[in-house]
Amino acid sequence: MSESALKAPARNEQGEPSRSFLQRLLQIDEIGVIGALVILIVLLSVTAGDKFLTTQNFINVSRQASYVAIMAVGMVFVIAMGDIDLSVGSIWMLSSVMMAIALRDNYHILIAVAVCMIVATVCGLVNGALSVALGIPTIIVTLGTLSLYRGLGLVVTNATPVSGYNLDTWFFQWIGGRDPVFGVWISVWAAIIVGIFGWILFNHTAFGRRVQAIGSNRQAALFSGIRIARTRIMVMTLMGFIVGIAAVVALAFNRNGSPTVGVGTELSVIAATIIGGTALSGGSGSVLGAILGALIIALIQNGLALLAVPPAWSTAVTGIVIIVAVTLDYFIKRRA
């Protein structure tokens, strides 16, 4: 037997097997989505460089991604728990039009914001409570509340946009504006702050661990004393609350309460979450990945517009790129 065969593997100071830089890189949970993002940026830089690689374009894209990114943070908890919420777009619409109505009726801005947050949170609570009370998956419940919440929004607005309030206020000028230092839209900062809190909650609290445990193995979670029903209600309520945050910053920017807001948004939010590495089967998730997933979706749309891809192709191309991004994430993780 040769000496080299008997030679022990190299170890670091802690006594652990040494890993190369590449191996360490592949161990990062979000490496798949980061890889997809890098490849997308490189591709767009090459094909649409002069229009893509501008500060203004990145500022635009970050804002376009921010609303989905905020909601995707909440969706991480829902999907990691093994559920899905299809009503997020409708909650967004209902809470934002209610806020707009409050503004139109001359309520103080803070009261209007509170109305938005309360409506959104209650919608989430109802989703969770119905799911627990009826003993049916949230995907089924939210299939119904998707129509219920949107319908309520249409009733209160008579299917017409709500406007006619003073736009020269700190809310629309500042919350709906850009920060004076970096020139980034406030909604992007909101996404970052929600992301930070979401990351801490998901990865460093008992609540986050319970969510993942339920999604990983419901029976085991039950036997270990985790109160599944209560956790489910809390997660769905949290989802509603986070949608409320997105609704507030979106209204500040868009300036009118439109009943068309949020149509199809749930698919973008779920796609962003899945692209970001949250397992559809539940048990694990990544808040950072979800935010990056939202950015990928926004970059795809941005690239298609900059490259003037014909409308008939853009929907198909969006789907293809998402599939490629998810596949890339899968293979990179498998290799890791």
Element (H, E) at 33: helix 31-52
Write down the least CB distance from residue 37 to another protein, Å.
Answer: 18
CB closer to another protein out of 135 and 264: 264
The stretches of 186-264 forming alpha helices (DSSP H) are: 186-204, 206-216, 218-223, 228-254
How many residues bind another protein (CB under 8 A)? The answer is 39
Helix, strand and coil content of the chain, in percent to the nearest 5, comes to: 75, 0, 25
Site for another protein in 39-78 (CB under 8 A): 48, 51, 54, 56-57, 60, 63-64, 67
Q: Is residue 306 at the binding interface for another protein, with CB under 8 A as the rule?
A: yes
User: Under a CB-based contact definition with an 8 Å cutoff, are residues 315 and 264 in contact?
Assistant: no
Q: Is residue 163 at the binding interface for another protein, with CB under 8 A as the rule?
A: yes
Q: Is residue 145 at the binding interface for another protein, with CB under 8 A as the rule?
A: no
Site for another protein in 247-266 (CB under 8 A): 250, 253-256, 258-265
CB closer to another protein out of 77 and 172: 172
Q: Is residue 141 at the binding interface for another protein, with CB under 8 A as the rule?
A: no
Decide: helix, strand or coil at residue 285.
coil
Sequence-separated (6 or more) residues with CB below 8 Å from residue 271: 293, 297, 322
Q: Is residue 166 at the binding interface for another protein, with CB under 8 A as the rule?
A: no
| Per-residue binding letters, 7-36, with another protein (x by CB under 8 A) | ------------------------------
CB closer to another protein out of 105 and 327: 105
Between CA 96 and CA 268 the distance in angstroms is 19
Residue from 45, 160, 173, 327 in contact with another protein (CB under 8 A): 160
Query: 1: buried, middle or exposed (CB in 10 Å: 19+, 13-18, 0-12)?
Result: exposed
Write down the least CB distance from residue 309 to another protein, Å.
Answer: 9
CB closer to another protein out of 208 and 303: 303
Single out the residue of 151, 186, 171 nearest to residue 102, CA to CA. Answer: 171
Single out the residue of 126, 321, 315, 137 nearest to residue 233, CA to CA. Answer: 126
Binding residues for another protein (CB under 8 A): 48, 51, 54, 56-57, 60, 63-64, 67, 150, 154, 158-161, 163, 250, 253-256, 258-265, 298, 301-302, 305-306, 308, 310-312, 314
